[in-house]
Chain A
Amino acid sequence: MSPSVRPYWPPLAAGFALGLALLVTFLITGHGLGASGFFTRVAAALSGWLAPVWAQANGYFGPFLQANPLAAWISWEIVGVLIGGILGAVSSGRFKAMVERGPRASSLNRLLMAFAGGALAGIGARFARGCTSGLGLSGGATLAVAGFLFLIGFFVAGFIASYFLKKAWT
């Protein structure tokens, strides 16, 4: 273990930083931060390349493919998130290439669970029209009923699912 690993910020400090980042985003753009919107655009773009006829005719992807689906604010934002994440991880000695998993889970098991969890989250974010960032965090900060409804669902299902998945992580 490297002694040069810097601790995480305390939750209060990290929460203030995140809140100020979100506030600045609102003041500049008029909307909050997001994430799932970018992956929706990636899915639309991939579908447009792999199955253009189907994707153009699809009721959900079709409108995205009227123009280049990746030419959007959220794409730049996610590039920024990757840069910010690398800056934070590398400067603190916290960057580490690994499959992060519970002590009882094999790497393959972890990767399959990550894929399945990602699929659930991907479907869920499309139903909700946003994810933890866009709806929970940004919606919550505007005191939107939709944001708090999403957060209630998120935490209820998280606690229930986690109860059955304890072995995967501990």
Chain B
Amino acid sequence: MLPVYDSGAAAGLFAGVLFGFALESAGFGSPRKLTAQFRLSDWSVIKVMFTAVVVCAIGLYLAELVGLVRPNGVFVPTVFLGAIVLGGLLVGAGFAMGGYCPGTAAVALASGRLDAIAFILGMVAGTAAFAAAFQPLKDFYFSGQGPQGQTLMDLTGLPEWVILLALVGAAFGAYKAGNHFEKKFGGPLTAKQVVAGTGERAPDQTNSVPKETFKA
């Protein structure tokens, strides 16, 4: 019966190598590619994340259905309403500004990106600042606690397969919207453009190119 609950060094290394290789292969070692999601010209972040969530969620559902995984056998985080929403907002703003989130900064560092070092130093500094201010923040940090490990099924009362079906549908919609906007705004950054560095005109700029040419 799974999971085997092995969180040893070998398990960590193995999971990390898969994680890092997949993120790098998706192009997530590039801050320009990552942030292009928010300029709507490159939808890789939403497409890849949505696909991964759906694939893993369906995998866990099926594994439990056939008795491979014990029910409620995996860790499900608990809601702390204020802190989780504020945390999401801050990580999102930090991502738009700094070009990374914690995991992609590690992959960027592994890809040779020196700016990832600055982002990582910033994270460590931010974490220390949070710790320094922890005492007065404590009430807010624990506020709005929801039921232990609450899932969308608990929240809505719907069966898991309905939630999964809705997620597949939403992912489909996200791909369609993404393809539409990518076409409109010049398309996703390619590996060649990323490796070429800043000299290469980013695709988000292609729209403004003719205007500038006319002025000249």
Contact = CB atoms under 8 A, between A and B. Distances in A.
Interface of A: 1-2, 5-9, 11-12, 14-36, 38-40, 42-44, 46-47, 58-61, 73-89, 92-103, 110-133, 135-137, 139-163, 165-166, 168-170
Interface residues of B, number: 138
A140 B113 CA distance: 28
Q: Report which residue of A58, A99, A117 has the largest number of chain B beta carbons within 10 angstroms of its beta carbon.
A: A117
18 contacts: A7-B190, A8-B191, A15-B47, A21-B22, A28-B4, A29-B5, A39-B123, A58-B134, A80-B14, A80-B20, A81-B110, A87-B24, A99-B114, A101-B198, A102-B202, A116-B97, A121-B101, A125-B127
A143 B9 contact: no
Given A22-B56, A103-B198, A8 B27 contact: yes
The SS class assigned to the A binding surface is helix
Interface of B: 2-27, 29-32, 35-39, 43-44, 47-57, 59-60, 63, 69, 73-81, 83-116, 118-132, 134-135, 138, 141, 146, 149-155, 160, 163, 175, 190-192, 194-199, 201-202, 204-205
B115 A110 contact: yes
Contacts of B76: 139, 142-144, 146
A35 B119 CA distance: 13
The SS class assigned to the B binding surface is helix
A143 B152 contact: yes
A85 B55 CA distance: 22
Contacts of A119: 94, 122-123, 125-126, 129
Nearest to B130: A126
A47 B114 CA distance: 24
B15 A33 contact: yes
Contact of A153 (B26, B92, B196, B201): B92
A118 B152 CA distance: 30
A80 B84 contact: no
B24 to A, nearest CB: 3
Contact of B35 (A1, A38, A169): A169
B32 A169 contact: yes
Contacts of A25: 15, 18-19
B93 to A, nearest CB: 4
A31 B74 contact: yes
A27 B103 contact: no
Contact of A121 (B43, B54, B122): B122
